[in-house]
Structure 1
Amino acid sequence: MNLNEYRWSLNPRGMHSALNYLNIELLSRHRFGWAKIVALSDGEIALAENAMRENITPIIRIYRERPGNAPVDSLALQQYQQYRDAGVRWFEHYNEPNLDIEWPSGANKNPNDRAVVGPLMDNWLAWAEFIISIGGYPAFPSLADVNDGTHLDTISWIRGMLNYLFDVHYERFRTVLNNGAYIAVHPYIANHFYQEMPNGGPTSARPPHLQNADEGGWHFEYPYDPINQADDPGRTVYGGTPLAPFGDTVSLLGSTTVIHDLLREMFGVGAIPFVGTEGGIPPPVGLEDVRQQDNRYPPYTWYSHAEATAAMFDWIATTAPPWFFGVCLWKFDEYYLTASGELPVGTRLAQKPPMIKPVPALPALGDIDAVVFETPVADPDHHFVFLVPNFETAWFFQQAETYWDTFKPSLLSDLEFLGNIPPEKTVAVTAITGPDMVDWLTENISERWPHIRLDVIIVDQPQALGQQLAQRVLIGRRLG
């Protein structure tokens, strides 16, 4: 399965529900693309359906208290089937098994003990195969980021689970990875981010009141950012320095990097989706709350938190690896139902059109180095721009002048013309659409002419179209 075959909104902005509650209308107004829904049963089907109507991709987790490494019960399997029948594709079950709260009291939780990780992986694999059999995408268990060398340690759990799968279920696991699995992560990033001062250099950092999501210079690549590397040279997600003896995954891409590296080394993985099913920048708890978890980095405030969160989502769309699909902010009530009122994040996101994540056709299994880093993508023999039926054509002509002058595509008014092009010619169609016509494009272009590259731009505002086209011109990229 290729990375671009996963069906989702292509919008990395996500929100996690409070248990059994999520206001989809509000998320739609604030332009979210993911909705993580924790459900006690099948009672949230209508909520998931509402999300899908708004082009918000739901992720369903059936809640079980302290499940440990127990198998998924038959009632939960029945409920997952019901959500799938309603159109949901993305599912998650096992959650943060490296935390004591997810295990029965007194249970053995040693990640180096195969009596612990063996049943967990056996039962997860059986559940994942079930989810794939019904046409869904199963999440590999998420972990909390803990770097302390104890039984909670994130990297120890990652290695313990993957080593067991390598030794016991190598081919079964690869089959699951190649047929729709994704990796759930929980990137709570603290204040491990910053925005450079204008002309201040890579280690300069703006104070919170000067941060602006619409301006550049943001860094979310901790621990590889210039500030951390200047302070502790050579630190990686695995540690590697006396100041980080057990690794350092408390960042946007920390656990993602570790898991992706090991999947690649051990199982020959190319590109598997990673989704932050909870996480983000922990929100302040009041108007006067100033957070500074790491004093090497600037603090953030009630107001600057909104700028940083908006910038984080843009950074995911433009700079993060193509397999990192977004983050669901933890959680709805902590953003919208606080004692101090609604955090400014939602309003800020409503003002700022989401950047759509370009997802290339990278294989789940196989070497992707040449695809990503070495082989340039040649311009097609024919490049068309197609505006879907009922799309506001004025948006394109208002926003596309620089893109048009730079790449000189042809405007396609009738899809049937594609059938007249000799099959030995390379063809790309940049289709500009609202969120509701993506499936129509797949059916009417990709399924009819599989050799044609379909390059979809999803927008709901003219400014969003202008931003995406301007970004392509800036980096010299004709296609997304």
Structure 2
Amino acid sequence: MSLKPTDYPRPPQDTGRGIHWSAIPYHGKALSDIDFWLGELKAMGFTWVKLLDDGGGSSLELCKVLLENGIMPVVRLYRYQPNPGHIGGREDQTVGKLVEIGVRYFETNNEPNLAVEWKDGRIPPDWMKIVAENFIIDANIVTKHGGIILMPAMSPGSQFRKYLETFKEAGADEFFSSGKAAIAHHNYWGNHPLNYPYDEVNQKEHPGATVFEDSYCWLSWYALLEDFRKVFGYYVPVLETEGGLWPGQRDDNRYPETTPESMAEQLTFVAKFMQGDEKVVLPDGTELSVLKEPGTYYFCTGWWLIANELMGHTDTAWSSHAWYQLDKHLPVVDALKALGSHPRKEGVPEEEVEPEPQPEVEPTPTLQWDPRLDDLGVKLVKGDVSKPRFALVEARWYDEQESQGRHHIFVEVIKDGKRALDQQVAFGWPDNCYVKGLSPTGKYAADFPMYAPIGTIGAGPYWVKVFTAESDKVEGLGLGTPETPHLAIHTSFSLKFQWVEAEGAPPPPKPEELAQTLWETAKASASPHGLIMPLNKEAPTFKVAQEQGLGFRLSPEVEFTFKDKKYLGQIFEQGYVIFEVPKWDEPIILPREEGSPHPWETL
């Protein structure tokens, strides 16, 4: 069987935007400046990072930091000239430690079609068979810990079909079909335009050329996915672990040299494509988008190279490739920061979605709880019930069939009979959360895609609450079923929060009761000297009486208690003025019947 794209691990706020860390497996220099680098990664919208490990855990601390900040590491277990060969006991232990902290994707080989990656610099005639058989050995080691192994990426411009057929003959289908393996891809394209080889210049020289014959282009990911489907019968994710371009390239003299500005322009387009904001239409009418197959399996970029010397690499071979250099950074940095980012879109494009009516308002806050939630381990944690709050009034789970491909938490928030557009919802997971405003239209006020199974961390990785007010909190949400809590099966939740008054609070007192208590308190403290009383023009009761024209004072300001609450009141010729302390902007005014006695007259 094959799996859906959403069955594979991805970062919480996946933008599809990834970058290659330094070209060395030691990260002490980068960790010493990690606050700076994390700030830059987030500002540019990166949620994936490819990095190297020396096979003994040299990346462990860096991976922890990245994961804590919602960034998915892809780890290459670096071996010098790894062919022919496979990983061993040292890497076995390291994979176990990395998987334990949350790393999932691993590379164990690199560009095996190049002589530089072979011992003695010589490629044997049956190199594909040797690489595929060693891949099976590596796969057994990586996957026994719960990791996902990546098929070794070849160098840019390679043809994929025979390579893939050799892996299938070696038995790789066992790992690909079960979600234990995916594809690494080195997607460089030199100074070619993004629509190469379909562009006008190339087509004039090579009429009818397609990406399947000439894959030295950005669109090579499409050729790789389609060739994989033709060989294996299904798709698996493609993760770019190197790729992009850098200033000064002119591999093809038919096109201008890559400049810092053209680099920024092209990568900005790809960034928008990866989060679902752009699409490409080929000459035969094929539409490529991350919103539809096979683009849904195009997981991330892996652009080369964030830094060289600034991350401790002393070899200057890559200095001009680095985005951050000793004396400057390339324009692509500012371009991506200016672009911004958002989580990768899922499903069909927005323009194809039927507008849906606003939900009906539930007239009562009685909780409607889907009993299947108990089987999943979902829990309701009430907010402070002594205060007004957004209470959970409805919670429902949708199984795989009911979800119809969706894998989201859908939320509605109601106050005063309508959607509370001034509020925000927090969707959280361990050590982080994403705060989202409410939409004025649509069936739900907010939604959030889930990628982790419910059994990933204890009772589940996700929680939800209204962020901007006192609120109940729902914990233990995630993909999967009660029977398969560790599988990322497409399931969904809908939650509805409604504003309610404090539970158990007494009903507000009737004004008549307050006036009677004020009268009795004033009578008990009345002066035997009659109406001689001090005048306090700053008293809130006196100010309100003057504004309302309530006439002469018939009592001083009187403090009294009614049902455990403190009040300040005063009696005037034509009415009572009362405040609950300290609500000085909420006066309670009650008319006084003409001719009725005041406290002094009853002495």
TM-score range (shorter-chain normalised) is 0.5 to 0.7
| Aligned residues of 2:260 and 2:330 also touching (Cα < 8 A) | yes
Secondary structure of 2:437's match?
helix
Aligned to 1:315: 273
Q: Is the 8 A contact 2:112 2:154 kept in 1?
A: yes
Structure 1 residues 17 and 354, CA gap change in structure 2 (3 angstroms): same
1:264-302 CA-partner distances (Å, limit 9, x unpaired): 222212x21101101112x22xxxx5x444354454422
1:13 equivalent in alignment to 2:13: no
Give me the identity figure in percent.
24
In structure 2, what is the Cα distance between the partners aligned to 1:378 and 1:235?
38
Aligned to 1:99: 114
The reply on whether 1:232 has 2:167 as its aligned counterpart is no
State yes or no: 1:351 paired with 2:362: no
The AA in structure 1 aligned to 2:330 is L
**1:392/1:439 Cα in 2 relative to 1: closer, same or farther (>3 Å)?**
closer
Tell me the amino acid that sits aligned with residue 189 of structure 2: I
Q: Using the TM superposition, give the Cα deviation of residue 439 of structure 1 relative to its aligned residue in structure 2, in angstroms.
A: 3.4
- How many residue pairs get aligned? The number is 356
1-side partners of 2:123 and 2:404: how far apart? 55
Change (3 A) 1:340 1:2: same
Partner of 1:427: none
CA distance in 2, matches of 1:177, 1:121: 16
Q: Distance in 2 between matches of 1:192 and 1:16?
A: 21
In the TM superposition, residue 257 of structure 1 has moved relative to its aligned partner by 3.3
Aligned to 2:139: 128
Aligned-residue offset at 1:100: 1.1
Among 454, 477, 480, the alignment partner of 1:444 is 477
After TM superposition, give the deviation of residue 392 of structure 1 in Å. 8.2
The structural deviation recorded for 1:432 is 7.4
**Match runs of 1:184-199 below 5 Å:** 184-193=184-193
Which residue of 218, 232, 249 maps to 1:252? 218
CA distance in 2, matches of 1:314, 1:259: 21
User: Is 1:388–2:354 an aligned residue pair?
Assistant: no
Provide the rounded CA distance (Å) in 1 between the counterparts of 2:493 and 2:201.
40
Aligned partner of residue 35 in structure 1, secondary structure: strand
1:56 CA displacement: 1.1
In structure 1, give the amino acid aligned to 2:132. Answer: M
The C-alpha deviation readout for 1:204-242, integer Å capped at 9, x for no partner, is xxxxxxxxxxxxxxxx34323455445532101233xxx
Q: Note the 1:72-471 alignment, pairs <5 A.
A: 72-110=87-125, 113=126, 116-146=127-157, 154-155=158-159, 158-169=160-171, 172-193=172-193, 220-225=194-199, 228-229=202-203, 231-239=205-213, 248-254=214-220, 256-269=221-234, 271-281=235-245, 283-284=246-247, 289=248, 291-318=249-276, 319=279, 320=289, 321-332=295-306, 333=308, 334-338=321-325, 340-359=327-346, 384-385=410-411, 387-388=425-426, 396-397=437-438, 400-401=439-440, 404=441, 408-411=442-445, 430-431=447-448, 439-440=461-462, 443-444=476-477, 446-447=479-480, 452-453=491-492
Q: Deviations over 1:183-217 (max 9, x none)?
A: 00001111222xxxxxxxxxxxxxxxxxxxxxxxx
Shift of 1:346: 2.1
Identify which of 56, 63, 66 aligns with 2:78: 63
Q: Is the 8 A contact 2:156 2:187 kept in 1?
A: yes
- Check the 8 A contact 1:6/1:180 in 2, yes or no: no
* Larger RCO (CA within 8 A; separation ≥ 6): 1
Q: Does 1:46 find its partner at 2:61?
A: yes
Tell me the distance in 1 between the aligned counterparts of 2:323 and 2:196.
28
C-alpha distance in structure 2 between counterparts of 1:65 and 1:83, whole Å: 21
> Secondary structure of 1:238's partner?
coil
2-structure distance, mates of 1:274, 1:65: 24
Q: 1:352 and 1:454, CA in 2 relative to 1: closer, same or farther beyond 3 A?
A: farther
Tell me the TM-score normalized by structure 1.
0.65
1:29 and 1:350 in contact (8 A); partners too:
yes
Shift of 1:250: 0.9
Distance 1:378 1:451 in 2: 8
Q: Any stretches of 5+ residues in structure 1 without a counterpart?
A: 147-153, 194-219, 240-247, 362-376, 413-429, 456-480
TM value normalised by structure 2: 0.53
Give the letter aligned to residue 222 of structure 1: Y
CA distance in 2, matches of 1:145, 1:50: 31
1:117-174 residue CA offsets vs partner (Å, 9 max, x unmatched):
223211111211322221111100101024xxxxxxx22xx344333333342xx524
CA contact (8 A) 2:108 2:152 kept: yes
**CA distance 1:409–1:313, shift in 2 (3 Å):** same
How far apart are the structure 2 equivalents of 1:121 and 1:432?
Answer: 35
Structure 2 CA distance for partners of 1:353 and 1:167, relative to 1, 3 Å: same
Higher helix proportion (structure 1 or 2) = 1
Unpaired stretches in structure 2, ≥5 consecutive residues: 280-288, 290-294, 309-320, 349-402, 413-424, 464-474, 483-488, 495-603
* Paired residue secondary structure (1:249): coil
SS of alignment partner, residue 303 of structure 1? helix
**Any conservation in 1 of the 2:44–2:337 contact (CA below 8 Å)?**
yes
Aligned partner of 1:149 in structure 2 is: none
Q: Which amino acid aligns with 1:396?
A: G
Over 3 Å counting, the alpha-carbon distance change for 1:296 and 1:49 in structure 2 is same
Closer, same or farther in 2 for the Cα pair 1:140/1:378, shift >3 Å?
A: closer
Write the letter of the residue equivalent to 2:100: D
8 Å CA contact 2:188–2:216 kept in 1: the answer is yes
| Contact 1:310–1:348 (8 Å) recurs in 2 | yes
CA RMSD of aligned residues (A): 3.5
Whether contact under 8 Å (1:431, 1:454) holds in the other structure is no
Quickly say closer, same or farther: Cα 1:222–1:453, change in 2 above 3 A.
farther
Is the contact between residue 161 and residue 231 of structure 2 (CA under 8 Å) also seen in structure 1? no
CA shift, 1:312, in A, is 1.5
Mapped partners of 2:331, 2:409: distance in 1: 41
Q: Tell me by how many angstroms 1:379 deviates.
A: 11
Aligned partner of 2:415 in structure 1 is: none
Is 2:39 the counterpart of 1:30? no
Any idea what SS the aligned residue of 1:305 has? helix
- Compare CA radii of gyration and give the structure with the larger one: 2
Distance 2:490 2:74 in 1: 31
Contact 1:90 1:138 in 2 (8 A): yes
> Which digits, 9 at most, give the CA deviation of each residue in 1:19-77, with x for residues without a partner?
12455423233321111111213022110111111111101111100011212122112
Q: 1:432 to 1:452 in 2, by over 3 A?
A: closer
